[in-house]
């Protein structure tokens, strides 16, 4: 099993949600896991619970992530960090666009640039990019989020070409709605947010996504699980809307 071939992992967005669940799962597999996020307090709690190595670095801190990747050779990279600022491009502001580009796309590009050459040189490694069904399907608002996630989806396929001929695998995980605290981060930590997005729904848990990632990593080295779309059974993406002239809402 490839887990036995890998020694180190870097997980971004590790302080909560899917990222924290991935850290816990990979630690149980015996990897030395570096958990990267901004919140030093939450990382300290995670380290006490799992034995991971906390890295209190903002994923958009290019100097910080460069220094870390120069100090440690990573066999597994899980790009889990992500942010959202809901709204159509008609209501977007410059700060929100820059934030999503920095965290959702630019950081992933830089981490792949920094980590992949070592994987190629060692002829082993696995990159897992957590994108979203928003990278493939359109729904109301979140224009910048859709754009960044679609870019990560294309990047994930392109990486396979970049590392062709080497035993470096790339997996894109595309979650739908998952019961995590991302909704509180985006819409406010309130009873209304919980009722709107979580309460009463049958949703995958963060641990379910972590287990899917572990499945992809544990596959035989000859097997690359390239793309996994994980949604609630009772959720479907897509839809069709038609407006009469004058009725369309911005």
Single out the catalytic residue among 6, 137, 145, 194.
Answer: 145
**8 Å CB contact between 12 and 37:** yes
> Of the candidates 105, 215, 208, which has an alpha carbon nearest to the alpha carbon of residue 153?
105
Q: How many CB atoms lie within 10 A of CB 88?
A: 12
> Of the candidates 98, 76, 74, 68, which has an alpha carbon nearest to the alpha carbon of residue 85?
98
- In the chain, the largest separation of any two C-alpha atoms, in whole Å, equals 61
Query: CA–CA separation, 98 vs 148, rounded Å?
Result: 11
137 is catalytic: no
Q: Which residues are catalytic?
A: 145
């Amino acid at each position: 099993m490839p887990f036995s071939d890998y020694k180190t992992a870097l997980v971004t967005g590790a302080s909560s949600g899917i990222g924290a669940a991935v850290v816990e799962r990979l630690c149980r597999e015996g990897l030395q896991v570096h958990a990267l996020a901004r919140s030093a307090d939450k990382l300290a709690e995670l380290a006490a619970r799992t034995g991971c190595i906390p890295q209190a670095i903002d994923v958009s801190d290019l100097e910080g992530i460069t220094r870390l990747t120069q100090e440690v050779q990573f066999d597994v990279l899980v790009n889990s960090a992500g942010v959202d600022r809901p709204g159509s491009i008609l209501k977007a502001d410059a700060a929100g666009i820059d934030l999503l580009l920095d965290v959702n796309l630019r950081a992933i590009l830089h981490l792949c640039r920094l980590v992949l050459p070592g994987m190629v040189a060692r002829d082993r490694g696995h990159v897992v990019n957590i994108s979203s069904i928003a990278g493939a399907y359109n729904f109301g608002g979140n224009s910048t989020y859709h754009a960044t996630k679609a870019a990560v989806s294309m990047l994930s396929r392109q990486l396979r070409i970049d590392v062709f001929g080497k035993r470096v695998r790339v997996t894109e995980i595309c979650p739908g709605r998952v019961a995590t605290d991302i909704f509180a981060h985006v819409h406010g930590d309130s009873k209304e947010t919980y009722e709107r997005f979580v309460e009463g729904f049958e949703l995958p848990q963060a641990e379910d996504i972590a287990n899917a990632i572990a499945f992809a990593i544990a596959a035989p080295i000859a097997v690359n699980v390239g793309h996994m779309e994980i949604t609630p059974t009772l959720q479907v993406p897509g839809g069709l809307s038609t407006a009469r002239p004058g009725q369309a809402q911005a």
